[in-house]
Each structure stands twice: as structure tokens, then as C-alpha cells.
């Protein structure tokens, strides 16, 4: 699936939830499916700090693609992290660095990912793209 297709899939999934509580319930569910981050990455090096919750993000190159794993101490944030990883992980650096994450807005989570919301999610997306940018630059050089 393309980046666009995954996002549309997510939008479809959320469409059935009319109510915020249902959306949150679904995010809580998603948070439980997020693979555990190896505790050796739960250090300040991988920490993305917001005002409220913490996110740890680890990225590694797997051939041509980037794989992310992450974790958060807050559950709804973790659910969103799970979505971000579902959309972004396993793609090429080039695709990720230019990714237009339209699904966030469409499923009503814009607040959580806006820079004025002092939390780690906005920084997380930035960090995901930064990793991609770095790998991409490396690829270009070699």
C-alpha cells in the first residue's frame, strides 16, 4: 500500500466512530498492539520531550527502507504513535521525508499534532522526517 492508501484506510477505520470516546477507545486499542520498544532505547538519547507525555523513537535502516519503533508513557499518545508508525515505517527515506500526513487532520487529531500543543507528537513526526532526511542524504552521497 502506498503512504496515501494507508492513510485512507485509517480514515475509513475512523469514519465509523462518531463520538470522540469511540475514537479514543480505538486509539487505546491500537496502543496495545504497538510492539514494545527495547528498553535499551528508552533513554534520553531517543527521548522526544513534550510538556506532558514522553515519546521514545528509534529508527533503523533495513536495506532501502526505514523501520521505526516507538513508545510513549501516555496511552492515547501511544495509540497515535502506533498510527504514525503504521503509516511511515517500512518506507523509503525519500517517501518519508516528503510525507504529507493528511490523515491526522481527517481523523480529528490535528490538535494533538499541532506545534502549539506542547507535547511530543509534533516533535515525533519532525524527528521521523529528520531521520529520513539524514538517511536520504547519506544515500545520495554514496
Partner 1 sequence: MFDVQKIRSDFPALDQQVYGKPLVYFDNGATTLKPKVVIDTLQEIYSKRNSNVHRGIHYLSLRMTEEYEEARKRVRKFINARSEKEIIFTNGTTASINTISSTFGEEFVKEGDEILISAMEHHSNIVPWQILAQRKAAILKVIPMNDQGEIVMEKLDELMHEGIRILALNHVSNALGTINPVKEIIQKAHERNIPVLLDGAQAIPHGDVDVQDLDCDFYAFSGHKVYGPNGIGVLYGKEEWLEKLPPWQGGGDMVEKVSFEKTSFAELPLKFEAGTANYPAAIGMAKALDYIDALGKDQIAAYEKELLDYATLKLSAIDGLKIFGAAANKISIVSFLLEGIHQEDTGMVLDKMGLALRTGTHCAEPVMTRFGISGTVRASMVFYNTKEEIDKLYEGLIKLRQMFR
Contact flag: residue 42 with partner 1 (CB under 8 A) = no
Tell me how long the chain is.
142
Binding string, residues 17-36; x marks residues near partner 1 by CB under 8 A = ---xx--xx--x--------
Is residue 116 close enough to count as binding partner 1 by CB under 8 A? yes
Size of the site for partner 1 (CB under 8 A): 22
Residues 76-105 binding partner 1 (CB under 8 A) are 76-77
Sheet holding 91-92, edge to edge: 47-49, 54-62, 65-72, 91-92
Which span (34-42, 50-58, 90-98, 126-134) binds partner 1, by CB under 8 A? 50-58
| Cβ atoms 20, 117 nearer than 8 A | no
Task: Name the grid cell of 30.
Answer: 491500537
| CB-count exposure of residue 89 (10 Å: 0-12, 13-18, 19+) | middle
Torsion angle, alpha carbons of 16, 18, 19, 21, to 10: 10
Q: Does residue 51 have an active-site annotation? A: yes
Catalytic residue among 40, 51, 100, 116: 51
Considering only 114, 122, 130, 134, the residue that binds partner 1 (CB under 8 A) is: 114
Which residues here bind partner 1, judged by CB under 8 A? 20-21, 24-25, 28, 51-54, 73-77, 111-112, 114-119
Amino acid at each position: 500500500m502506498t503512504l496515501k492508501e494507508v492513510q485512507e484506510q485509517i480514515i475509513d477505520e475512523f469514519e465509523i466512530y462518531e463520538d470522540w470516546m469511540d475514537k479514543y477507545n480505538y486509539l487505546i486499542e491500537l496502543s496495545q498492539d504497538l510492539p514494545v520498544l527495547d528498553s535499551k532505547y528508552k533513554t534520553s538519547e531517543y527521548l522526544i520531550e513534550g510538556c506532558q507525555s514522553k515519546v521514545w523513537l528509534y529508527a533503523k535502516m533495513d536495506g532501502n527502507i526505514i523501520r521505526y519503533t516507538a513508545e510513549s508513557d501516555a496511552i492515547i499518545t501511544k495509540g497515535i504513535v502506533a498510527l504514525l508508525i503504521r503509516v511511515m515505517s517500512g518506507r523509503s527515506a525519500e517517501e518519508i521525508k516528503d510525507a504529507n500526513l493528511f490523515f491526522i487532520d481527517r481523523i480529528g487529531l490535528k490538535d494533538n499534532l499541532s506545534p502549539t500543543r506542547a507535547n511530543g507528537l509534533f516533535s515525533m513526526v519532525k524527528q521521523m522526517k529528520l531521520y529520513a532526511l539524514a538517511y536520504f542524504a547519506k544515500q545520495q552521497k554514496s
